[in-house]
Amino acid sequence: MSRIFRKSLFWFRRDLRIADNAALYQALRQSEQVYCVFVFDRDILDGLREEGITDDRRVEFILESVVELDAALREHEGGLIVRHAAAWKDIPALAAALEVDAVFANRDYEPQAIARDALAAKALQAAGRGFQLYKDQVVFEKDEILTQAGQPFSVFTPYKNAWMRKIVGDGGEFYLQAYPVERYLERLAPPPAQLAGGMPSLEILGFGKSNLSDLGIATGMSGAQALLDDFVERMGRYDTARDYPAVKGPSYLSVHLRFGTVSIRALARLAFDRMRGAPDMHDGAHGKGAAVWLSELIWRDFYSMILQHHPRVAGHAFKPAYDAIVWESGTRAEQLFGAWCDGRTGYPLIDAAMRQLNLTGYMHNRLRMVTASFLIKDLGIDWRWGERYFADQLNDFDLASNNGGWQWAASSGCDAQPYFRIFNPVAQSEKFDGAGKFIRRYLPQLAKLPDRRIHAPWTAGAEELSQAGVSLGGNYPQPVVQHDLARLRTLERYAVVKKAEAGIHSDVNPRSPAAPSDD
């Protein structure tokens, strides 16, 4: 395609990288000059402060990543125009000031982002400027993977199979190819002096410094690459290591996928090649571990597709019948929710997981499922309360994946676990943290309990507790509920949707086999 625009503006959002950036590639390829901008959107940041969040690790992660991105662009005679404004108004104003012909950006699928882009597009169009959006966050978007009847999937395994068929089919490798941005980097334009503005500080953005650096969380493109390099050596063990929170099993790249400091195509291509045993790969670095990791990346596409086709899931159950469930309410519900948020439930694995989240902004995937199940099916709390708490706390918060995970746990989502499948928090603890390493890290007051007691301290005798320095109801709480009784209450609570579940499909989530017994 020949160049058709004299000047364009590229708007960085959830794609804070240069390499393999779909819309940046298109902007450079189609334009003689391309300016680049990042907007610290007041419509988002002001909302965080209104919720009382003043030291958000995500804001700091973004700022550090933007600083690195600006430096990388300057190496190619470009640079970032950085703004702090309402993006839907500021982008058209900046486009006018720069006298560009078009604005390029990568597509965002969250309802708030779609509304923002619609407002920006309307203003740009009124001024005679184009607004071009491209796919970059996912491998496949809205209508690219459909059933044979032309409908969106609602069950993961058939979706995954269709996803894989598209990749291995004729021309399928195109979907995982990198966009060769480097071919056109000489078309980057430096920020005009009168619009450069400089990089804002956290204080200017209205936030204080978080513990991001203390935690050693890697930021930016370089941070993503360092994590990926480390994970490549462990990928072959991912299928077995990923379920154990005390083990270095995950890739820890989720926050980088969230803010686009790494390309989803690059990760999926790496996993696919390792799974297939590409000839240039070392023995043992591919196989089942890579296949399971690729499956997790496909789950990300799946949940994004669900949000794109069914935006109502942002506030309602995917299965409408589940909105009829009556959840706990009032003072008691608030107290139980507070205990869950603070890690004071009396169930060590739940409490350790919540303290990990509160301290670091990260929670192991297995523990996300277990803590969500506990809130919903042991405490009887509306899944939306937990979803909102995770949204505030998680560094890698992504609406589609967070909502999908919570609705999976609540049994109200697509391909969710059956309502009668209820995680036993003690059994999960014994199975996935048998030696109590994870629990001891985040609950040091339980450190001296023997392994056989640390998962359920209330089963220890008075002398055993005393020797370990544990005081139930003192330095560690008594359980806020009895799991067996809570399970029975949950089955009663879900009776309202029992008929809806009577015809449940047989192709259930492979990670969640239907079974009437506790896990």
Active site residues: 296, 299, 327, 365, 383, 406
SS3 (DSSP) at 20: coil
Candidates 176, 181, 180; CA nearest to 138 is 176
d(CA 206, CA 56): 10
Could you tell me if 377 and 383 are in contact, meaning their C-beta atoms sit under 8 angstroms apart? no
Residue whose entry in the numeric block shows the structure tokens 């609602």: 154
d(CA 179, CA 264): 12
SS3 (DSSP) at 38: strand
d(CA 124, CA 131): 7
Spell 224-237 as b/e; 16+ CB within 10 A means b: bbebbeebbebbbb
d(CA 402, CA 362): 13
Q: How far is CA 431 from CA 243, 251, 375, 482, in A?
A: 10, 22, 20, 20
Could you tell me if 348 and 455 are in contact, meaning their C-beta atoms sit under 8 angstroms apart? yes
Q: How far is CA 325 from CA 47, 136, 410, 489, 495, in A?
A: 30, 37, 11, 12, 9
d(CA 28, CA 4): 11
Biggest distance spanned by C-alpha atoms of the chain: 81
